[in-house]
Amino acid sequence: MTALTLSTAGAATLRADALVVGLAKSGKTLVVAPGAEAVDKAFDGRLAAVLETLGASGAEGEATKLPAPAGLKAPVVLAVGLGEAPEDGESFGAETLRRAAGTAARTLTGTKKAAFALPIAAAEDAAAIAEGALLGAYAYNAYKASPEAKADKDAKKPLAEVALLGAKPRDKAYKAAAERAQAVAEEINRARDLINQPPNDLYPATFAAAVQAAGKEHGLKVQVLDEKALTKGGYGGILGVGNGSVNPPRLVRVAYTHPKAEKTLALVGKGITYDSGGISLKPAGHNETMKCDMAGAAAVFSTVVAAARLGLEVNVTGWLALAENMPSGSATRPGDVLNMYSGKTVEVLNTDAEGRLVLADALTKASEEHPDAIVDVATLTGAMVLALGDRTFGIMANDDDFRTAIHEIAEEVGEQSWPMPLPADLRKSMDSPTADMANMGVRMGGGLVAGLFLQEFVGEGITWAHLDIAGPAFHEGAPYGYTPKGGTGSSVRTLVKLAERTAAGEL
């Protein structure tokens, strides 16, 4: 776990293994960003010129290392690109700082301590830099076991300590910003760890056990419904998906309550710990990363813990619909009809459209507690990835103002999202001649059809939103900014900020 400190020391005097500075573009000229004046002075005012000679351009995502001159305690200077310099009187954007800090932390893998001399004009800047650095200093290597892998693992340990220069450790706003950044980043990394864990070790029962352990640590109330309780309760959606696996399903309720809370936010997460597609089996090339199909449940779990750690004056209840979707003699077949917890019947036309089935039962159950709002999070449809790409999640809702609020919150915290409609005309495509409805509709607009399906199971009069994080939940390409390869923890920052806004009475 990477340590975070706020330091009043100067960039030239703090002892560290590396010193991080910002490099920006002002027209055709490279400029050293504020916060690194002492470092530039040690280079006789020629730091930007030296970096340009080394090929630096100041572009976002760029990192350039060079040896430090006499006059600096750190042996290495790392310049990270910040893109275009802001206009006079303006500051660098929070996401620019967050990504630059993440790039620096990744570049400094194997380093013990780095001092970040990036532009800090307010506590919000310190928070963005801290968050980016802590998220960038992430690695998942729990299963590296060979002697060679262990040696490589030791050499590539995440950056151990981040010192923010220019922050004010005695200022309440700065201290609170740093503490929040650490809590949120650690919970995002908790979600990442769960997403990256192999499915032979993370299945419904072990996921539920992880929630119970965290519940004890953070004072959360945890209730786990096993397969017997699910059968007795009539949770046909969750059972219909999970009955094909030797690892039976679970429905987990994890709740944080505050004595002064006036509102309750319910979060529902899709937790398919492995998705083979079931009888509608996925082809090779589409099932290798399906351990990530529980990313929604991981995000919900981490958000509830973050709310507890931050002491938010709002009740936050998480519902994790956990199952493993496998083909077997006991698996649901295309054409089967499931009796859902709501009382509706659903004809299953495709067993690979399983996420909506487990979410439906969880949404119905969450609605029984009459929360002020419900948000479900799921890696639900490939159609959403086709529509928005692999870095943007879609937002659907039964209330336009709520959908807009979530979109604005996501943009504020640096998560790419886009509001999507719920066209009523698509609902008819899910009509079934056999049951109340089918789990599939028309192919075109499939992500919207899935949203319409879920809406059927939300309690009357309850404000609801659906986040389809199928694109950004799992990153298969090269790391960038603070985003690693593998699980990303997508939507946690949005959900935490939503809880904060709810606690403040803004929603």
Mind telling me the catalytic residues? Answer: 282, 356
**CA nearest neighbour of 62 among 21, 109, 28, 11:** 21
Q: Identify the residue whose tokens are 């950004």.
A: 472
CB distance 131 to 98 below 8 Å: yes
Where do runs of H (alpha helix) occur along 274-381?
A: 295-310, 355-367
Q: How far is CA 416 from the centre of its chain?
A: 11
**CA nearest neighbour of 369 among 287, 470, 264:** 264
- Residue type present at position 26: S
3-state secondary structure of 467: strand
- 464: its two tokens: 């609801």
What is the C-alpha end-to-end distance of the chain, expressed in Å? 34
Beta strand ranges found along 295-354 (DSSP E): 315-325, 337-339, 345-347
3-state secondary structure of 485: coil
CB distance 375 to 467 below 8 Å: yes
DSSP-assigned letters across all residues of 275-297: E--TTSPPPTTSSTTGGGGGHHH
- Residue type present at position 304: V
Rounded CA gap, 433 and 127, in Å? Answer: 55
CB distance 298 to 183 below 8 Å: no
